[in-house]
Amino acid sequence: MTQQETHMVPPPETDTPAPPDGAGSPPPARPDAPAGAAGRRRPPGTERSPWRVFLRKPSTLVFLPLLGLFVLIAALGPLLVGDPSATGNAELLAPSAAHPLGTDHLGRDYLARVVNGGQISLLVGFTVAVLCMTIGLVVGGLAGYHGGWMDTLMVKLAEFFQVLPGIVLALVAAALLGANVFIIVAILSITMWPAVARIVRAEAMRISQLGYVESARAAGFRSVRIIWSDVLPNALPPVLVATSMTVGRAILIESGLAYLGIGDPSHPSWGALLNSAQAYMRDGWWLAVAPGLCIFLVVLAVNMLGDALNDAYNPTVGRVK
Amino acid sequence: MSSLILFIAVITVLFFLLEMAPGDPIQTLVGDVPLSEAFRAQITAAYGLDKPVWERYVLYLGNVFTGNLGFSFGTNNEPVLDLILSRAGNTLALAVPAFLISTIGGIILGSIAARTRKRWLDGGISGGAVALFSVPNFWFGMLLIMVFSIWLGWFPTQGKSPYGQPGIGFEYLVLPVITMATSELAYKTRIMRSSMIESLGQDFVDTARSKGLSSSHLLWRHALPNALLPMVTVSGYSLGYILAGSVLVERVFGWPGMGLLFIDAINRQNNMVILGVVIVLTVVIILVNILTDVVYGLVDPRLRAQFSPQRTLPPEGRQDRQSDEVAA
């Protein structure tokens, strides 16, 4: 994602010497400082932790619980709703008390199907994001820190995957290899890691120039250790933002594949439900509404949380004077 | 040069991927009927499938550079390139308007959001952009069909022209173009907003403001040219995404373009068509990337300064020249 690359992260806190009174404990309060003055500039080193800024943002307060709710429903919901493949004799019933989301063309309870469908989308989204973050951290970290042939190789590989948009490669590969959940996760991870790796690489290049990495090198630490304990932790905030975007994009691509009929037939996901809903748009509008709304809300939640995280870590970006 | 290597790499990977694919394309071609050995051998030879993989690969690669993408694995045996070209126009009829709408709209909306930063208008635009960016675009298309075609009856639901008539009907074009444009519009608005905010924070904008220029002049004449740079890059990529996304949009609207051809080929294991579509897409994307670099050079004021005689003045003279320009 280009937009994250343009955002420069303020120098990490570890760059400044820790307060002498020990980490974690608040600095001694100055008696002359006015208490609780809003918007007051804090002395260096005592800024509010970005995590707390993030957790107190209004959008976080809305979307973190929303995402949690979806995860909870995906984890426990299938136990509470009935059998998603049990057919009834009432086909295409509009939403009612007995069937809160109506029934589909085979008389199956749609709520049960939507709740079960969420598992695949969320599983794919989060697994792909974790895999991309892992690959991205390793490859991007090594490339950015070492440079040289490793860097060249990584940039070329990333370029290869960026020429063709992920969905095209995913379509071809999923159609060829068959489409179970593992294969889809693998394909999406392979096509989507470069986005994360490029950000890690840029961060690693920047951080490698900083003084404390220089001194770690002078102290004779091995480079793997420097990357692991000095470079990567400080590269984490932009990486987390990119990862949250990966969750959203993976869910969108997975549902798109399933909508095109390329998905795991034994575990229908939200995209697959929309695929069959297309034929009944005239007679059963509710079939097309619920699964799409779920995809939308989950992707919106992860994107909003990514934005909030980005804002919390880069409060000064683009401040208008 | 590196584009050429990239291009060959894409073909190579896909060629061998398709080669490894399970399933029997000849059986798929004939359908679900028993196949005699003699007939199978005849078809295999007719398509050149009896040659070793490497030989076919080298042959195919050579053919690609002469514009021969092989023959469709179907009853008509059409050349793949003709098949693609016959559909490409339909896809471009969606992609070009979607590209223009999303780019121009993104520049305008993003600039307005940046100008009204942290006020309700910005909140509305930015919030709307994140929301649209998160909508699965095929679902958005389905909703449009439900509301505007089924309930209101303003637009047709499917296809590209009235039954049996050639060409493209305007009323058939509206919903798919909107569907294609929205998520790109949202993305470009976000990019434009952040790059415009950055641009407005630069020193030369302060300088211009201190000269008492109106804020709209400041925005459109001074900040905009600089803020456009990231947009050029994003627009380059976005054409690729629009073309790739056409697979979904064309499926929703039953639009007979390259995307539908692609899905069809995948479902029927029509390997030559799959390869052909991907090759055409790759060529377009690589060309657009090259074009993006050229446009970037034309738009970037710093690069342009090297060639423009006005800007080669010594630093102290440049200030005067700028104020002259403003006065003119």
- The residue-averaged pLDDT of B49-74 equals 78
Backbone angles phi, psi at A88, to 5 degrees: -110, -175
**Assembly ipTM:** 0.80
Contacts of A299 in chain B (CB under 8 A): 134-136
- Do residue A274 and residue B138 have CB atoms under 8 angstroms apart? yes
- Would you say residue B320 has pLDDT above 50? no
Cβ-proximal residues to B195 (8 Å cutoff; 6+ apart), any chain? A6, B110, B227, B228, B229, B230, B231
Lowest mean pLDDT among A213-217, A305-309, B164-168, B236-240: B164-168
Q: B236 vs chain A: nearest CA distance in angstroms? A: 11
- Do residue A252 and residue B136 have CB atoms under 8 angstroms apart? yes
- Which of A260, A288, A321 has its CB closest to that of B201? A321
**Contact assessment for residue A109 and residue A93, using Cβ atoms and an 8 Å cutoff:** no
Contacts of A172 in chain B (CB under 8 A): 14, 17-18, 266, 274, 278
The angle subtended at Cα A232 by Cα A226 and Cα A234, nearest 5°, is: 105
Task: State the average pLDDT for chain B.
Answer: 79
Best residue of A114, A162, A176 to probe chain B, by most B CBs closer than 10 Å: A176
**Contact assessment for residue B236 and residue B184, using Cβ atoms and an 8 Å cutoff:** no
- Higher-confidence position of B251 and B305: B251
Instruction: Return the residue of A nearest to B145 by Cα.
Output: A281
**Contact assessment for residue A56 and residue A28, using Cβ atoms and an 8 Å cutoff:** no
- Which of A176, A259, A289 has its CB closest to that of B18? A176
- Higher-confidence position of B248 and A82: B248
Q: Which two tokens stand for residue A109?
A: 């309870």
pLDDT for residue A299 = 92
- Would you say residue A269 has pLDDT above 70? yes
Could you give the CA distance from residue A284 to residue A280 in angstroms, rounded to a whole number? 5
- The residue-averaged pLDDT of A129-151 equals 84
A82 CB within 8 Å of a chain B CB: no
Contacts of A8 in chain B (CB under 8 A): none
The pLDDT-based confidence of A94 (bands split at 50, 70, 90) is: low
pLDDT for residue B105 = 92
**Contact assessment for residue A115 and residue A178, using Cβ atoms and an 8 Å cutoff:** no
Q: Which two tokens stand for residue B255?
A: 């639009």
Residue-wise pLDDT tens digits, A174-220: 777 777 888 888 888 888 888 888 888 888 777 777 777 777 777 77
Percentages helix, strand, coil for chain B, rounded to the nearest 5? 80, 0, 20
Could you give the CA distance from residue B181 to residue B177 in angstroms, rounded to a whole number? 6
pLDDT for residue A9 = 40
- Which of A173, A175, A288 has its CB closest to that of B142? A288
Question: What long-range pairs does B171-175 form, CB within 8 A, spacing at least 24?
Answer: B173/B93, B173/B94, B173/B97, B175/B141, B175/B144, B175/B145, B175/B148, B175/B149, B175/B253
Looking at residue A139, its amino acid is V
- Do residue B146 and residue A281 have CB atoms under 8 angstroms apart? yes
**Contact assessment for residue B172 and residue B159, using Cβ atoms and an 8 Å cutoff:** yes
User: What are the distances in angstroms from CA A73 to CA A66, A112, A294?
Assistant: 11, 11, 11
Instruction: Return the residue of A nearest to B286 by Cα.
Output: A163
Helix B258-267 and helix B271-299, axial crossing angle in degrees, nearest 10: 150
- Higher-confidence position of A313 and B101: B101
Domain extents in chain A? 50-78+105-313
- Higher-confidence position of B266 and A2: B266
Q: Which two tokens stand for residue A157?
A: 């590989």
- Exposed/middle/buried for B278, CB within 10 Å: 0-12, 13-18, 19+? buried
Q: A41 vs chain B: nearest CA distance in angstroms? A: 20
- Do residue A321 and residue B133 have CB atoms under 8 angstroms apart? no
- Provide the Cα torsion A31, A36, A41, A44; round to 10°: 60
- Higher-confidence position of B20 and A321: B20
pLDDT for residue A48 = 65
pLDDT for residue B228 = 83
| Residue B150 DSSP one-character state | I
- Do residue B247 and residue A171 have CB atoms under 8 angstroms apart? yes
**Contact assessment for residue A247 and residue A196, using Cβ atoms and an 8 Å cutoff:** no
Q: A151 vs chain B: nearest CA distance in angstroms? A: 16
Task: State the average pLDDT for chain A.
Answer: 74
Contacts of A160 in chain B (CB under 8 A): 6, 9-10
Could you give the CA distance from residue A296 to residue A63 in angstroms, rounded to a whole number? 12
Interface of A with B in 132-161 (CB under 8 A): 156, 159-160
Residue-wise pLDDT tens digits, B174-227: 889 999 999 889 988 988 888 888 777 777 777 777 777 777 777 777 778 778
CATH number for region A50-78+105-313:
1.10.3720.10
Cβ-proximal residues to A126 (8 Å cutoff; 6+ apart), any chain? A247
- Higher-confidence position of A111 and B107: B107
- Which of B9, B17, B194 has its CB closest to that of A176? B17
Instruction: Return the residue of A nearest to B239 by Cα.
Output: A165
Could you give the CA distance from residue B64 to residue A34 in angstroms, rounded to a whole number? 74
Name which of B275, B271, B283 is nearest B243 in CA terms. B283
Contacts of A171 in chain B (CB under 8 A): 247, 262-263, 266
- Do residue B281 and residue A281 have CB atoms under 8 angstroms apart? no
Name which of A206, A123, A194 is nearest A161 in CA terms. A194
Strands (E), chain B: none
Name which of B133, B289, B246 is nearest A160 in CA terms. B289
Q: Which residues pair with A109 in a beta bridge?
A: A103
Q: What is the pTM of this model?
A: 0.79
Could you give the CA distance from residue A57 to residue A127 in angstroms, rounded to a whole number? 26
A39 CB within 8 Å of a chain B CB: no
Contacts of A317 in chain B (CB under 8 A): 194, 197-198
Contacts of B19 in chain A (CB under 8 A): none
Q: Which two tokens stand for residue A310?
A: 């980005």
- The residue-averaged pLDDT of A116-135 equals 88
Could you give the CA distance from residue A143 to residue A307 in angstroms, rounded to a whole number? 27
pLDDT for residue A26 = 45
Burial call B158-188: b when 16+ CB within 10 Å, e when fewer: eebbeeeeeeeeeebbbbbbbbbbbbbbbbb
**Contact assessment for residue B147 and residue A288, using Cβ atoms and an 8 Å cutoff:** no
Q: Which two tokens stand for residue B326?
A: 């403003």
Instruction: Return the residue of B nearest to A2 by Cα.
Output: B234
pLDDT for residue B24 = 67
- The residue-averaged pLDDT of B151-160 equals 80
- The residue-averaged pLDDT of A107-119 equals 78
Could you give the CA distance from residue B48 to residue B171 in angstroms, rounded to a whole number? 45
Contacts of B10 in chain A (CB under 8 A): 160, 163-164
- Would you say residue B101 has pLDDT above 90? yes
pLDDT for residue B310 = 47
pLDDT for residue A218 = 77
pLDDT for residue A10 = 42
Lowest mean pLDDT among A195-199, B64-68, B305-309: B305-309
**Contact assessment for residue A191 and residue A170, using Cβ atoms and an 8 Å cutoff:** yes
The number of residues making up chain A comes to: 321
Contacts of A256 in chain B (CB under 8 A): 136, 138, 248
**Contact assessment for residue B78 and residue B52, using Cβ atoms and an 8 Å cutoff:** no
Instruction: Return the residue of B nearest to A306 by Cα.
Output: B130
Lowest mean pLDDT among A146-155, A230-239, B122-131, B244-253: A230-239
Helix B120-134 and helix A285-313, axial crossing angle in degrees, nearest 10: 120
